[in-house]
Amino acid sequence: MPTRFRKEQRHLTTEERVVVNRVKQLAEDLHDIIDMMPPSRARDIARVKLEECVMWTVKAISDAP
């Protein structure tokens, strides 16, 4: 039975690594903008959701066949 949980990490291609790095750079830029907002629960949630977005994007890239 195939498992959804990979035992070993798949190495990304050069092109995939470029995309991951671009996603992370864009997220860092957006994080800097979010940090300019006054402290609030909404700002904290925005940070968490941005981190979550990056995580799922990287997973989508690394899970691709």
User: Residue ranges of the domains in the chain?
Assistant: 14-63
Structure confidence at residue 3 (pLDDT): 67
* pLDDT tens-digit map of 1-49: 566 777 777 899 999 999 999 999 999 999 999 999 999 999 999 999 9
Q: Calculate Rg over the CA atoms of the chain.
A: 15
> Distance between CA 44 and CA 65 in Å, rounded?
34
Structure confidence at residue 13 (pLDDT): 94
**Top-confidence residue, 50 or 11:** 50
* Residue 46 main-chain phi, psi, to 5 deg: -60, -40
Structure confidence at residue 1 (pLDDT): 52
pTM over 0.85: no
